[in-house]
């Protein structure tokens, strides 16, 4: 997806001070499928009313109540984290965009909340993850792999036939009311960088760093309780703090001004920033030098500390996009791969809904 920003060449921006002349190829692979040497085309656009766009985004955003359920259901939380990590690995393998990753997790979380998975069928969570990633790729990407190929990237416990995935795709689409373009934190990141930015390369670099942080948080269900605008604001604050701590206060006031943050939102942003800092600093010491270099080279994360729970490290490792094995595109039967006994016994109750209730509510 191309990022649009307004031409602010006549005024100095806070983002100017964050500019650093790292090689362009540091970020190329992360943002789109183009060759690393060519940055994505940042379109000049003055046709949108900023206020209208922001009002539209804010009007459509809402957080997923699933976060509350996950706090009381560790088994479901574990299954979700595992599914999200798998989706991020596949996303990286096929060089899908950051938006594809965020959308697939968004669909998955909305579906997880709306649909009660049967206790004796934990594999349905994985099937939902495959379907959600497939749908996100179809919404956002030009070239989408065969359904069977999506499953060959990482050693999944289950391998589903294409017709089974298609049925789950239909169920996901129907359950979500075919609303597949929700506002995400990336929508706000894009909006912020257009409003604050002044240099093409700078906007792009800042965006890539913020996206890197954001993607690494997707597996942590605690961040689901925050609105996309709040999460985007906290993410940008975190990036500013890690790159240029002295600018944090000034930058914060600009961001809050753009977002028209007044009453309860500042507390939410501060709370989210605090959690983000806690999560990242908790893993800073554990991160190995190799992983740090990999992230720095590939995403321009630079001084930002290591990712929580190994999400970024696993999902976006340096060699994740290489694939030596040849993969058949013909549908294969559903089969179960071995995992530990403990994981096989996963029960995934959703305390809020039953299938029949859900179907009658539609």
Partner 1 sequence: MWNEESDWIGSFDSQLARLAECRMCSRDRGERPDATGMDLEVLEVAEEGSYGRVFRCLDIHTGALVTMKQITMVRLSQGVPAPIIREVSLLKELHHANIVKLLRVGLTENRYVNLVFEHLDYDLHHFIVNRGYPKDALTVKSFMYQILSAVAYCHSLKVLHRDLKPSNVLIDHSKRLIKLADFRLAGEFADDLLYTEKLGTSWYRAPEILCDSRQYSTQIDLWSVGCIFAEMVIGQPLVQAINCRDELEGIFKLLGTPTEETWPGITKLMPNLHIYYPKFDALGLETFVTDLEPSGLNLLSMMLCLDPSRRISAEAALKHAYFIDVNYVSLLLL
The residues that touch partner 1, with contacts defined as CB under 8 A, are 1-2, 4, 32-34, 40-41, 43-45, 47-49, 52-53, 56, 121, 131, 134-135, 138-142, 144, 146-148, 162-171, 173-175, 177-181, 329-331, 333-336, 355, 359-360, 362
Cα–Cα distances (Å) from 8 to 44, 49, 195, 233, in that order, read: 10, 15, 9, 21
Which of 215, 212, 216, 185 shows the shortest CA–CA distance to 309?
A: 216
The two tokens of residue 353 are 């809904």
**CB closer to partner 1 out of 138 and 260:** 138
Measured distance CA(214)–CA(101) in Å, rounded:
10
Please give the angle made by the CA atoms of 116, 118 and 120, to the nearest 5 degrees.
160
**CB closer to partner 1 out of 82 and 140:** 140
At closest approach, how far in Å is the CB of 141 from partner 1?
Answer: 8
At closest approach, how far in Å is the CB of 153 from partner 1?
Answer: 17
Q: How many other β-carbons are positioned within 10 Å of the β-carbon of residue 120? A: 9
**CB closer to partner 1 out of 46 and 289:** 46
At closest approach, how far in Å is the CB of 111 from partner 1?
Answer: 13
Which of 136, 100, 128 shows the shortest CA–CA distance to 112?
A: 128
Q: Using the CB atoms, write b or e for 25-49: b if 16+ within 10 Å.
A: ebbbbbbbeeeeeebbebeeeeeee
**CB closer to partner 1 out of 127 and 279:** 127
At closest approach, how far in Å is the CB of 4 from partner 1?
Answer: 7
Measured distance CA(312)–CA(237) in Å, rounded:
19
Q: 158-159 and 335-336: which strand pairing? A: antiparallel
**CB closer to partner 1 out of 184 and 307:** 184
**CB closer to partner 1 out of 177 and 246:** 177
At closest approach, how far in Å is the CB of 165 from partner 1?
Answer: 6
**CB closer to partner 1 out of 121 and 339:** 121
**CB closer to partner 1 out of 183 and 219:** 183
At closest approach, how far in Å is the CB of 105 from partner 1?
Answer: 17
Measured distance CA(298)–CA(348) in Å, rounded:
36
At closest approach, how far in Å is the CB of 246 from partner 1?
Answer: 34
Q: Give the CA radius of gyration of the chain.
A: 20
Which of 79, 140, 76 shows the shortest CA–CA distance to 104?
A: 140
Measured distance CA(157)–CA(331) in Å, rounded:
16
At closest approach, how far in Å is the CB of 26 from partner 1?
Answer: 19
């Amino acid at each position: 997806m191309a990022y649009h920003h307004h031409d602010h060449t006549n005024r100095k921006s806070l983002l100017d001070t964050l500019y650093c002349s790292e090689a362009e190829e540091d970020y190329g692979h992360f943002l789109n499928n183009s060759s690393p040497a060519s940055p994505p085309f940042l379109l000049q656009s003055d046709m949108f009313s900023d206020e209208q766009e922001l009002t539209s985004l804010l009007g459509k955003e809402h957080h997923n109540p699933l976060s509350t359920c996950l706090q009381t259901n560790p088994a479901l939380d574990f299954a979700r984290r595992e599914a999200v990590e798998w989706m991020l690995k596949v996303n990286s393998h096929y060089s899908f965009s950051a938006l594809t990753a965020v959308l697939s997790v968004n669909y998955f979380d909305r579906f997880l909340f709306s649909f009660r998975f049967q206790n004796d069928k934990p594999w349905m969570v994985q099937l939902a993850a495959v379907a959600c990633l497939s749908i996100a790729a179809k919404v956002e990407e030009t070239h989408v792999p065969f359904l069977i190929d999506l499953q060959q990237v990482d050693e999944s416990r289950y391998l589903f036939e294409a017709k089974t995935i298609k049925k789950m795709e239909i169920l996901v689409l129907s359950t979500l009311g075919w609303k597949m373009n929700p506002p995400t934190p990336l929508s706000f990141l894009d909006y912020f960088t257009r409003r604050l930015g002044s240099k093409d390369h700078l906007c792009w670099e800042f965006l890539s760093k913020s996206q890197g942080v954001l993607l690494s948080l997707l597996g942590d269900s605690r961040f689901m309780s925050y609105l996309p605008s709040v999460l985007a604001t906290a993410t940008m604050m975190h990036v500013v703090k890690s790159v240029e701590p002295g600018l944090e206060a000034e930058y914060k006031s600009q961001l809050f001004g753009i977002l028209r943050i007044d009453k309860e939102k500042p507390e939410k942003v501060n709370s989210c920033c605090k959690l983000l800092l806690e999560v990242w600093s908790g893993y800073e010491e554990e991160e190995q030098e190799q992983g740090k270099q990999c992230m720095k080279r590939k995403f321009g994360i630079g001084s930002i500390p290591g990712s929580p729970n190994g999400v970024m490290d696993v999902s976006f490792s340096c060699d994740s996009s290489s694939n030596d094995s040849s993969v058949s595109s013909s549908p294969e039967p559903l089969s179960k791969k071995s995992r530990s006994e403990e994981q096989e016994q996963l029960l995934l109750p959703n305390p809020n809904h039953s299938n029949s209730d859900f179907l009658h509510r539609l």
